[in-house]
Amino acid sequence: MTVREDRAEKGKRELVCIGCPLGCMITVTCKDGQILTVSGNTCKKGDQYARNEVTNPERMVTTTVRLADRPHETVSVKSERSIPKEKIFDFVKALKMVEVKAPVHISDVILSDVAGTGVAAVATVNRL
C-alpha cells in the first residue's frame, strides 16, 4: 500500500489542522503550485501546518520493536521528529528487523537514520 499522494494543485484545498486538538478547518488557495492564501486557522501553527501539508507533508511515526528474551513485551518507539509522509512505511519496516536488549530508557536511540530519513527512532518507554 502506498501513502496517498498530496500535491499542491491549482485551486482550493480544504485541510483539517492537526497541530492541536482544536482541528481547525483551513482553506488554502493555490495557483501554479504557489500558495496564495491560508485561511480558517486560529494560530500561526495552523498557517505553518497548512503550508507544509500542501507542499511537503510530514508526520511523526510511532511503532514498536522487539525486546530480546522477553517475547511478550515490546519497546515502543517514535521518530525523533516528523518525517516525510511518503516515508512512513519504510520507517516502520526498517524497525521491524530491530530487537533491543533491556535496559532501555525513554529517549534512548533505538536506530539512527531510519530508512535514509536522517531521523532516529527513540524509545518512548522504560524497560528495566
- The 10 Å CB-count burial string (b at 16+, else e) for 20-47 is eeeebebebebeeeebeebebbeeeebb
In the bound complex, what is the minimum distance in angstroms from residue 65's beta carbon to another protein? 9
Q: Does 118 bind another protein (CB under 8 A)?
A: no
Nearest-CA neighbor of 40 among 3, 2, 76, 14? 14
What is the 8-class DSSP label of residue 112? S
| Residue number with CB closer to another protein (9 or 34) | 9
Q: Does 20 bind another protein (CB under 8 A)?
A: yes
Q: Does 44 bind another protein (CB under 8 A)?
A: no
* Subset of residues 47 to 106 that bind another protein, contact rule: CB under 8 A: 59-64, 66, 71-74, 76, 78, 85, 88-89, 92, 106
Q: Does 29 bind another protein (CB under 8 A)?
A: no
Q: What is the length of the chain?
A: 128
Start-to-end Cα distance in the chain: 36
Cell of 59: 508526520
**Site of interaction with another protein (CB under 8 A):** 1, 3-4, 15-18, 20-21, 23, 25, 59-64, 66, 71-74, 76, 78, 85, 88-89, 92, 106, 124-126
